[in-house]
Amino acid sequence: MTRTRRSLFLPLMEPVGNRAGRTRDPDFDSAAVRLGRFLGRIPAEGADLYAVQVDGDGPAHPACARPGRTVLGAALQAFAAAHGARLFLLSGGTMVLVCGSHVPVDRIEAILGDPAPKVAETGRAQAADRRGAIGGQAGEGSPGCVAAWYDLSDPDDLRRLRAIVQQREAAFRRHSGVARADAGSARLGRLDPGLLAELARRLPETDPRCLVRSGTVVRLSKAAEAVPRMRRFQVDVDAIGERLAPGIDLAGGGWLLRALLERTDRLMLAFAETLPPGQPGLDQGIDLNLATFTGPAFRRMQDLIAGPNRRASAVGLPLVDVLEGRHGYERARAWLRDRGCRVMITGVCLATPSVLDVAKLDAEIVALRWEEEVAAALPDSRRRAVAGLVESLGPDNVILVGTDAKAALEWGAPLGLRCFQGRFVERLIGALKPAATIGVDGRP
């Protein structure tokens, strides 16, 4: 009897450490639990999907070290977003990537450092050829990195992966029960709908200067001359927590945090209205969320970015927003360009350009996030991808953000990077004030 295969819609990747997480219950809901729910929706006869499990405890691959896992996670996250796949980050550094049958395995093998297959096949068929790795043993085509492949159209493979995930779920529940008992009353509270409503009420009454962080983008010439190129402004969620919700973990708020961020954009726009008009040669940029372009705050942007007295000549949008809402991003980009405003993609990890052609997002500026651990673990091939991005957009249009130490400049300069933002370069132009940029006591 011929088995009818069913496809399963993959609505969203499982975020790896980003603000868009959808944890329903932070106390008792892990990635293993969510993966278990996901697999539970697959019919017993299977579906046209495949999965690869990458373990974080293999001794023979550089990705198994903690900095390497960070790079690998960021690379797989970008790959998942670009291909409509779903990534789950389990405890112990294990990652499970679930893909539709159209996603080519050779792209995943390239990320893992494996040789690409000689014959082009569908992703699910390739995964079936590699499922000798099931059970945590490195299979053929996966030298070094402990990768297990599962053909989820095969009921046996599906049962094996479900069994592994169930073991992880049980371990998580045991561990979380002990952790809750140990944490006691010292544990941070979490964002809930009632607190969100209270924050929404208090935010408009708060001086925006107390919650907005500013930074200067500096261009370094070959003669080591530092020239200010842009002033960037963004709402600081940590400052909101410290001032309006002490003892609350806002970053773990999931969809509630996203709703909060939409409200903080109104605060950002109110702050931007107080800025002086931009000066020739010195851009002013504000960071927003893509949802603002379809929300009630959208009308306030007209005067900010248009006309001779414009307050902002660049608008930053998070990469995660862009990937999750490409059509909305394209409309927002066109709207901004029609008014002479440049688009900046923010929150781009150093490993992302090696798995996602960021230049094809067609933004004028890209802001890379400096992380010393990630930079140290990047192989030459991924550094070349960063250099390729700089070459595509131009050295004036790629910013290395978070350059608080000289090491960031020494890493970026050989790749063609010329624009930096952080405490180290701000000291070079005397822009860094002795006190913190954020005035949590009510003063700017």
pLDDT digits (tens, 9 = 90+) for 27-37: 445 677 788 88
In this predicted structure, which of 74-88, 160-174, 338-352 has the lowest mean pLDDT?
160-174
> How far, in Å, are 65, 94, 112, 297 from residue 148 at the CA level?
18, 11, 12, 47
Task: Say if residue 253's pLDDT is above 80.
Answer: no
Which residue, among 295, 347, 286, has the nearest Cα to 320 in the 3D structure?
Answer: 347
- The pLDDT assigned to 186 comes to 46
Q: Is the pLDDT of residue 402 over 70?
A: yes
User: pLDDT band at 173, cuts 50/70/90?
Assistant: low
* Start-to-end Cα distance in the chain: 73
229: pLDDT strictly greater than 60:
yes
* Average pLDDT of the residues in 158-187: 65
User: Which tokens in the block code for residue 334?
Assistant: 């066109």
Residues 128-151 pLDDT 10s? 555 543 333 333 333 345 678 899
Say if residue 278's pLDDT is above 80. no
Give the confidence band of 387 by pLDDT, cuts at 50, 70, 90.
very high
For residue 149, what is the enclosing H or E element? Answer: strand 147-151
Mean pLDDT of the chain, nearest integer: 75
Name the phi and psi angles at 26, rounded to 5.
-60, -25
For residues 54 and 57, give the distance between their C-alpha atoms in angstroms, rounded to a whole number: 9
pLDDT at 366: 97
Q: How far apart are alpha carbons 350 and 77 in whole angstroms?
A: 12
pLDDT of res. 54: 85
C-alpha dist (Å) from residue 302 to 312, 335, 357: 10, 10, 31
Residue 356 · residue 384 · CB < 8 Å: no
> Pick the residue with more confidence: 275 or 73?
275
pLDDT digits (tens, 9 = 90+) for 290-320: 888 877 777 777 767 766 667 788 999 999 8
- The pTM of this model reads 0.64
- CATH for 190-428, options being 1.10.3260.10, 2.40.50.100, 3.40.190.290, 3.20.20.450: 3.20.20.450
What is the pLDDT, as a whole number, of residue 316? 94
Residue 73's pLDDT is 76
Closest CA to 62 of 164, 153, 143: 143
Each residue's pLDDT tens digit, 60-99? 334 444 455 566 777 788 888 888 888 888 766 788 999 9
Q: Where are the domains of the chain?
A: 31-183, 190-428
pLDDT at position 416 is 94
- The answer to whether residue 422 scores a pLDDT higher than 70 is yes
CB 313 within 8 A of CB 283: yes
pLDDT of residue 315: 93
Segment (H or E) for 400 = strand 398-401
| Mean predicted confidence (pLDDT) in 195-204 | 86
pLDDT for the residue 127: 56
94: its two tokens: 């294990």
